[in-house]
Amino acid sequence: TLSQDTYLINGELKKWNGDKADVFSTISSTEEYKPTLLGSVPNLSENEALEALNAASNAYARGQGLWPTMKVEGRIAAMEKFVAQMKTKREEIVKLLMWEIGKSLPDSEKEFDRTIEYIYDTIEDYKQMDRDSAKFEKNSGVHAHIRRGPLGVVLCLGPYNYPLNETFALLIPALIMGNTTVFKPAKHGVLLLTPLLEAFQTSFPAGVVNIIYGRGRTLVTPIMKTGLVDVLALIGNSKSANAIQANHPQKNRLRLILGLEAKNPGIVLPEADLDLAINECLAGSTSFNGQRCTALKVLYVHEDIVEEFNKRFAERVDALKFGNPWEEGVKLTPLPEPGKPAYIQELIDDATDKGAKVLNDNGGKTSENYIFPAVLYPVSKDSRVFEEEQFGPVIPIVSFKDVQEPIDDMAASNYGQQVSVFGSNVRTLAPLIDTLVNLVCRVNLNSAAQRGPDVYPFTGRKDSAVGTLSVHDALRSFSIRTFVAAKDT
């Protein structure tokens, strides 16, 4: 087990002698099921939370060559130092990803490698942005030196499904743009930051990165109540985002960068290549057990092909291999949230009460830490699984006659991140795509929804997001155009 008793404040790795929280994996290491104790992390109090915030606030306000006003080369050197150290921790972090959140070995390796690439791409984009954006202008007798500056103190809160990659998709751009940060790791995926504490400490000036551990309410509420947080950067759910921002005493002063829920539909048109549509819908709805904001969470299949689609899709889902994350060929793995199987079962029961059938033989079969994906059809639109973001292994299917039906549902939905469309008739597709792209932010043609490649903008409409992430856009989201002006004399 990994007993971690340090936290990072003001450049100091402090030792914690107080109360600690045990970290369990829902993966059993014994034949008879028993959650595995992985280690423990500090349960810090409000005092440490406020100390971390003050450190970030002072590090921002001091300026004069320190982090927020440091030259581009200085910030890049710090980031390069950090990433070089991070690369040496691959094996340890990949192992923790598998145990803490049950991500398969290939996907855990991908999460790590993608994060390294993300940091290097950010450095390159930052250099380019600096070349393009720092410039002199003269208008109406006023000379201006325009540049991009930081926003201030950023509170970073990442999600459990990408505890490394998505947390860093907030933290890295925030840092490189000169902001200072307080960062609290997600509940699941908390230990995997331990191998990086020293790298953070030795790469960045004191107070620039502060890492705290403990209960959200104990730490985050007092931090927000001070009014000293300039940016809330959170990937997670809107319930937490709303509760957290409500604590800020002057809400208009708080900037938000949020990645929230989505209910991305897959729309299979009658002329679609069925093999391709089934492959992509399978990957889109079941990878990492559906625990992705970008997952396909409802499938609309045209009535002419729905019977064949359902038969083949259900067989493919049943053929997916369940097991521990490190086992060869495993696609479905234990769920890190102990309450998740029961929640998914509630959704299945509700949908079947309203007329749906479970199409696959294994659908809904449970073990202590898992429930096998259930393919549900026909799902009535007043079912919970049609409305709620299931974020887990259950796949509702509805049939449609006219493509206007899914369009109307998307227009009425609270979410607007992505859609996948499967078809080949250019005359039908072209106007459809134009309509869909105004309802979401990314239309995937004959492919599953996803966030990557990370250079593309990642955002959503309505309740799905505030602000835009990605290598390129995040640098802009975490900064503001400022300028120094002088009059002609």
Q: Which is nearer to ligand G3H, 75 or 442 (CB)?
A: 442
Measured distance CA(60)–CA(448) in Å, rounded: 41
Measured distance CA(100)–CA(64) in Å, rounded: 41
Which amino acid, one-letter code, is at 169? Answer: A
Among the listed ranges 52-60, 144-152, 264-272, 449-457, the one in contact with ligand G3H (CB under 6 A) is: 449-457
Q: Which is nearer to ligand G3H, 261 or 409 (CB)?
A: 261
Side-chain half-sphere exposure of 376, counting CA atoms within 13 A: 30
Which amino acid, one-letter code, is at 347? Answer: L
Site for ligand G3H (CB under 6 A): which residue of 154, 224, 293, 407? 293
- Strand 264-268 and strand 418-422: pairing? parallel
| Phi and psi torsions of 372, nearest 5° | -70, 140
Told to check if 292 binds ligand G3H by CB under 6 A, we report yes
Size of the site for ligand G3H (CB under 6 A): 9
Contact 185, 166 (CB under 8 A): no
Q: Which is nearer to ligand G3H, 20 or 472 (CB)?
A: 472
Among the listed ranges 87-95, 248-256, 401-409, 444-452, the one in contact with ligand G3H (CB under 6 A) is: 444-452
Whole-number minimum distance, CB 290 to ligand G3H, in Å?
10
Which residues in the 160-189 window bind ligand G3H by CB under 6 A? 161-162, 166
Told to check if 294 binds ligand G3H by CB under 6 A, we report yes
Told to check if 451 binds ligand G3H by CB under 6 A, we report yes
Q: Which is nearer to ligand G3H, 428 or 446 (CB)?
A: 446
Among the listed ranges 300-308, 356-364, 420-428, 450-458, the one in contact with ligand G3H (CB under 6 A) is: 450-458
Told to check if 452 binds ligand G3H by CB under 6 A, we report yes
Q: Which is nearer to ligand G3H, 294 or 479 (CB)?
A: 294
| Alpha-helix runs per DSSP H in 102-164 | 105-133
Told to check if 450 binds ligand G3H by CB under 6 A, we report yes
CB < 8 Å & 24+ apart, contacts of 110-118: 111/162, 111/164, 111/165, 112/164, 114/165, 114/452, 114/454, 115/86, 115/164, 115/165, 115/168, 116/83, 116/86, 116/87, 117/454, 118/165, 118/168, 118/169, 118/172, 118/454, 118/471
Binding site for ligand G3H (CB under 6 A): 161-162, 166, 292-294, 450-452
